[in-house]
Amino acid sequence: MQKADRLGKLPPYLFVTIRNKIREARERGIDVISLGVGDPDQPTPPHVIQALQQAAEDPANHVYPTDEEKGMLKFRQSVARWYAERFGVKLNPETEVLALIGSKEGNHHLCLATLNPGDTAILPDPGYPAYFASAVFAGAEVERIPLSREDGFLPRFDKIPEELAKKAKLLFLCYPNNPTGAVATLEFWQEAVAWAKKYDVILVNDHPYSEVTFDGYRSVSILEAEGAMDVAVEFNSLSKPYNMTGWRIGMAVGNSELIAGISQVKENTDSGVFNAVQYAAIAALDGPQEASRELMNLYKARRDRVLETLRSIGLNPDTPKATFYVWSPTPEGMSSADFAAAVLDKAGVVVTPGRGYGENGEGFFRISLTVADDRLDEALARIKAAFS
């Protein structure tokens, strides 16, 4: 088969490469512990599962989802209520909220809705690899802006060249940040919105880690910034706070024209999320939040053990206030690929090489905190023994 050119423009998908590495190593008889992918090990809360079970038994939900690609109004109302309570952001559930099959889908369909072939999308480097694929599928040209440790892994708007700003159509951001764990302030979002308005650029915040926060930190929505509703869309997801990665449900919120654009792509592409999953998501958003808070205590304890181990072998990662990732420099003089290979070889542990997130990810690696405690502790003990 002659594949489409767009596929040839994509590097191998980072997490597929990692999955393959894990499989190969297991085939060689290695007891691999993967700290590579951010996929929660804990179960979905029982009341959410019960809501799914009940809704799945009702034949009214066996047909196409209500309001298909938009999501049920009840789900959208629940999202609007949650955004009002959580961020103080007022959303019209009819026009400013959309159900998604996970936030990754939203990134992709937003690109199809807004980018013409030859348009320019600006991506953060390092950045989540799916943004690149989404922009490329829309035929866009990709330009990257560096995120550096000195700047707290936030882009410097004063350093984006005027020429690039003028031609850009869309800027992808993600705070709390995957892969670096960096966070953004309201002042940062205000600066981002002012920049986007000045240059007429669509602003995206991918926000699935909004609830994965520690040490009293509360994540800020881009929509809290004044004027953000004019230029911005935010993607969020039930995946991380409620251990629902497999359920595939998230939401797009923000500028009504952008929401309508994504919706138009979706009505021609998919038929939305199974109603029963939407009822489960409503139960998650509207129900008790204790399990989610306890989950963050669990991640915080894991984060602290990872930091302690990495520091004990001479590395100096920052302490992340959010996300379930630790982003650490590699040992002096070692590339991220070499270090990831050495960790697999010497310790049977998979970490994600920073280079997989872009050129500026070189010299770093990412550890995900989403493995069972005993396996994490085993992995840390092996890393400590191998690199002390």
- In angstroms, the CA 303 to CA 131 distance is 26
> b/e string for 67-79 if b means 16 or more Cβ within 10 A?
bbbbbbeebbbbb
Would you say how long the chain is, in residues? 388
Residue closer to ligand MLT (CB basis): 104 or 109: 104
Residue closer to ligand MLT (CB basis): 199 or 209: 209
- In angstroms, the CA 40 to CA 126 distance is 22
* Stretch of residues binding ligand MLT (CB under 6 A), selected from 36-44, 109-117, 227-235, 339-347: 36-44
**Contact flag: residue 257 with ligand MLT (CB under 6 A):** no
CB of 179 to ligand MLT, least distance (A): 7
Give the total of residues touching ligand MLT (CB under 6 A).
Answer: 6
**Contact flag: residue 355 with ligand MLT (CB under 6 A):** no
Residue closer to ligand MLT (CB basis): 104 or 266: 104
Would you give the binding string for ligand MLT spanning residues 213-232, x where CB under 6 A is met?
--------------------
- Binder among 30, 39, 67, 167 for ligand MLT (CB under 6 A): 39
Q: With CA atoms as reference, report the closest residue to 339 among 319, 374, 312, 310.
A: 310
**Contact flag: residue 178 with ligand MLT (CB under 6 A):** yes
With beta carbons less than 8 A apart as the criterion, state whether 77 and 95 touch.
no
Residue closer to ligand MLT (CB basis): 38 or 126: 38
**Contact flag: residue 38 with ligand MLT (CB under 6 A):** yes
- In angstroms, the CA 201 to CA 115 distance is 11
Q: With CA atoms as reference, report the closest residue to 124 among 196, 233, 204.
A: 204
In this structure, what DSSP letter does residue 42 have? S
**Contact flag: residue 243 with ligand MLT (CB under 6 A):** no
Burial class (CB in 10 A: 0-12, 13-18, 19+), 19: middle
CB of 100 to ligand MLT, least distance (A): 13
Residue closer to ligand MLT (CB basis): 106 or 329: 106
> b/e string for 209-226 if b means 16 or more Cβ within 10 A?
bbbbbbeeeebbbbbebe
**Contact flag: residue 93 with ligand MLT (CB under 6 A):** no
With beta carbons less than 8 A apart as the criterion, state whether 186 and 217 touch.
no
**Contact flag: residue 180 with ligand MLT (CB under 6 A):** no
* Stretch of residues binding ligand MLT (CB under 6 A), selected from 32-40, 57-65, 105-113, 218-226: 32-40
User: Considering only residues 265-304, where is the footprint of ligand MLT by CB under 6 A?
Assistant: none
Q: Are strands 325-329 and 168-173 parallel, antiparallel or unpaired?
A: unpaired
- Binder among 30, 37, 142, 301 for ligand MLT (CB under 6 A): 37
CB of 361 to ligand MLT, least distance (A): 12
**Contact flag: residue 342 with ligand MLT (CB under 6 A):** no
What DSSP string runs through 255-297?
Answer: -HHHHHHHHHHHHTT-----HHHHHHHHHHHHS--HHHHHHHH
Residue closer to ligand MLT (CB basis): 44 or 120: 44
CB of 35 to ligand MLT, least distance (A): 10
CB of 368 to ligand MLT, least distance (A): 6
Helical (H) or strand (E) element with 253: strand 250-254
Residue closer to ligand MLT (CB basis): 129 or 329: 129
Residue closer to ligand MLT (CB basis): 104 or 382: 104
Residue 107 corresponds to which amino acid? N
Residue closer to ligand MLT (CB basis): 221 or 370: 370
What DSSP string runs through 297-319?
Answer: HHHHHHHHHHHHHHHHTT-----
**Contact flag: residue 377 with ligand MLT (CB under 6 A):** no
Residue 79: CB partners within 8 Å, gap ≥ 6?
91, 93, 97, 251, 253, 285
- Binder among 70, 104, 266, 302 for ligand MLT (CB under 6 A): 104
**Contact set with ligand MLT (CB under 6 A):** 37-39, 104, 178, 368
